[in-house]
Structures are given as structure tokens and as C-alpha cells.
């Protein structure tokens, strides 16, 4: 493996794809998929990065999809994508740690940001997002610690879902489900950080439909892009120039669940999410900057599934995700030849 990028651009790739009406898809038989982690637990909600010569994949491990205090974060590592070893299990008493997302900080460590849910008799009482940091070698991780959110954005039910770095600043969207009042509209705020622990408000995002899980990416020219899940509607694609106060939104017409995307070049992205078909599956798309989505691939999946992560290499795109189509919810890794995308 050489010169992998996450989530920056993959230099030197020229993808010749029309964004008009074509909706060609890759054939599933042309893609390699393997199960990389499975045990007696419910394993779900992945993230994937390339760090110092190895893949790192994170996910939540618990007794069920939600509703307990037993959720822990496991991080596994592999040099070849085939042989994986566990490098960390992060846990905190009284908290269900969820949806761990990986990023590389400006000082060369892995940041793990994760939701922390507190339940009583399976009822959600509060949320407090946590972070953990690796050492410079990626071999050890710190105990989870709560993040700080500025008073003008903080609630008792905040969930900072993913952090992306640009010019030594980390950006992420925190959402609040308004559990304090059942009829309260969900809210989303763009936050920024320099240390990965303390977060300040950039702007509130004016979105209806109970927006929540959001992935942020920043392009080399400074434009920020967002892929936003809405619980009561189809997903949105957002665009903004610095200082990221004003946003333009495109309704994708697709219901999202666990959205993620990463750049293939200046104008083209690969995105993944749960597709709410019957049954629900994990789907991949090609997307341009304007937010036009084209079907690319339906990964082998079913039941409780999705929440992908991406790493782009010279010849392949690697996609982590989870699925229960083969029984217990397990972690999978798909390898997609870039030549197949170039040929569409």
C-alpha cells in the first residue's frame, strides 16, 4: 500500500465520468468483500483510515443496536486488509459509547470521537460526546474523555458525529435530538476545534426534518461540503465557502443512514449510506460537487447494516461497513478496483 489519502484528495487519478443522466453501476461480482471481525457481540458503526502504513478500523461493540450501558469502542489494525488485530478497547462506566469516528490530527495522532449515551431502563437520559487520542505510533489510545462545547451551542443531548481537519482546524457537526421536550425540533450546529477536545460554534444550520448524522469534508480550495441525514425526510447535500456561515442545500432524494463520503478528485466523490429499501442495504454512490448522486454499487448486506468508512488507494477504494445478513452483526471490508470506476 502506498500514498493512501484519507480524507484528502487522491493525487494523480483522472476519472472520466459523465455527470449527466448515466446511472451505470459496478457489478457486485467484480468487488472483493471479506468479513474482518465477528464475535458474539453486535458489531456496528464503522470508520476507516490509513495511518503510518496500516489500516485502522473502529466500531462499536455491544449486546444490541442501542439501549444499554455496555457499548464499547474497538479499534482493529491491519497492514494488508486481510489479517486484523485488536489494538484498543475503549470503555467508560455508565456510558454507551457509540459511532466511533477516526481522523488524523495535525500533530500526527489518531483522534477517536464518539457519542456517549446514558440510559436508565433503556430510556435515553442524556448524551455526552467523548474523544480518545492515540500516541504518535498508533499503538496506544487514551481513556475516553468528554468534549467541551461552547455555551452558545451546548445542550444535554449533543452528539458530535465526525471531525475533519483543514489547516490545523477540526470541523464537525453536533446534533441535538431535543429529548428534553418531545415536540422540540432537532438542531444541528457546525463546530470547530484546534485541540480535538474543546469545540466552538461556527454557525447553526437551518435545516428541518430532524437533521442528525452529518459528515463534513473540506476541499483544498477551502469549500466545505456536508452530507446530512434527516430523520423525517431525504438527505441533504450542503456547500459553503469560508467562513462557513452561509450554506446552499440540495435535497438528494435519498434517505440516508450513517452517511460518509470522500474525494476521488476535485469534483468527484464516493459516498456510502444505508439505503432504506426493503430490505435495507448498504449502497455506494458517485457524487459531484453540486450534490448529484449516481448509483454505483449495492454491497452484500441486509438486516441491521451500513455506516461505511473509506480509504482511497492508488488502485483500489477500501470500504468498511457492518451487516447482519450472515447472522450476527459483523464488520466487513470491500475492495473496489478504481479501474472499474474509470470505465463507467
Q: Where are the domains of the chain?
A: 261-344
pLDDT (0 to 100) of residue 1: 44
Nearest to 273 by CA among 227, 233, 218, 329: 227
pLDDT (0 to 100) of residue 23: 60
pLDDT (0 to 100) of residue 120: 83
CA–CA dist 47, 44 (Å, integer): 10
Element containing residue 107 per DSSP (H, E): none
pLDDT (0 to 100) of residue 2: 39
Q: Give the chain's residues under pLDDT 70.
A: 1-24, 67-69, 178-184
Nearest to 5 by CA among 276, 265, 267, 291: 265
How big is the chain, counted in residues? 344
Q: Residue written as cell 469545540?
A: 199
Look at strands 148-149 and 211-218 and give their pairing. Answer: unpaired
CA–CA dist 150, 250 (Å, integer): 29
pLDDT (0 to 100) of residue 52: 97
Chain-centroid distance, C-alpha 247: 21
Q: What is the pTM of this model?
A: 0.91
pLDDT (0 to 100) of residue 277: 87
Q: How many helices (H) and strands (E) does the chain have?
A: 1, 26
Amino acid at each position: 500500500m502506498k500514498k493512501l489519502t484519507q480524507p484528502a484528495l487522491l493525487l494523480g487519478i483522472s476519472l472520466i465520468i459523465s455527470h449527466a443522466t448515466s446511472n451505470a453501476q459496478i457489478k457486485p461480482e467484480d468487488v472483493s468483500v471479506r468479513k474482518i471481525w465477528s464475535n458474539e457481540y453486535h458489531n456496528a458503526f464503522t470508520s476507516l483510515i490509513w495511518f503510518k502504513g496500516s489500516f485502522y478500523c473502529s466500531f462499536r461493540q455491544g449486546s444490541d443496536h442501542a439501549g444499554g450501558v455496555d457499548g464499547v469502542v474497538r479499534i482493529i489494525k491491519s497492514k494488508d486488509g486481510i489479517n486484523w488485530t485488536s489494538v484498543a478497547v475503549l470503555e467508560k462506566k455508565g456510558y454507551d459509547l457509540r459511532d466511533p469516528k477516526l481522523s488524523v490530527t495535525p500533530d500526527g495522532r489518531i483522534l477517536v470521537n464518539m457519542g456517549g449515551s446514558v440510559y436508565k431502563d433503556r430510556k435515553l437520559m442524556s448524551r455526552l460526546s467523548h474523544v480518545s487520542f492515540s500516541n504518535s505510533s498508533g499503538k496506544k489510545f487514551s481513556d475516553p474523555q468528554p468534549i467541551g462545547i461552547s455555551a452558545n451551542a451546548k445542550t444535554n443531548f449533543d452528539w458530535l458525529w465526525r471531525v475533519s481537519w483543514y489547516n490545523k482546524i477540526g470541523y464537525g457537526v453536533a446534533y441535538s435530538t431535543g429529548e428534553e421536550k418531545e415536540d422540540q425540533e432537532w438542531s444541528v450546529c457546525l463546530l470547530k476545534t484546534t485541540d480535538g477536545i474543546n469545540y466552538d460554534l461556527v454557525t447553526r444550520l437551518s435545516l428541518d426534518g430532524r437533521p442528525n448524522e452529518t459528515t463534513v469534508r473540506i476541499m483544498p480550495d477551502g469549500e466545505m461540503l456536508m452530507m446530512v441525514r434527516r430523520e423525517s425526510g431525504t438527505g441533504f447535500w450542503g456547500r459553503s465557502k469560508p467562513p462557513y456561515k452561509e450554506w446552499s442545500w440540495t435535497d438528494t432524494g435519498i434517505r440516508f443512514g450513517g452517511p460518509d463520503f470522500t474525494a476521488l478528485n476535485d469534483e468527484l466523490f464516493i459516498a456510502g449510506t444505508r439505503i432504506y429499501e426493503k430490505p435495507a442495504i448498504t449502497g455506494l454512490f458517485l457524487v459531484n460537487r453540486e450534490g448529484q448522486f449516481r448509483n454505483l454499487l449495492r454491497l452484500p448486506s441486509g438486516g441491521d447494516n451500513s455506516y461505511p468508512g473509506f480509504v482511497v488507494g492508488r488502485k483500489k477504494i477500501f470500504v468498511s461497513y457492518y451487516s447482519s445478513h450472515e447472522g450476527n452483526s459483523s464488520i466487513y471490508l470491500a475492495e473496489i478496483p478504481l479501474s472499474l470506476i474509470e470505465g463507467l
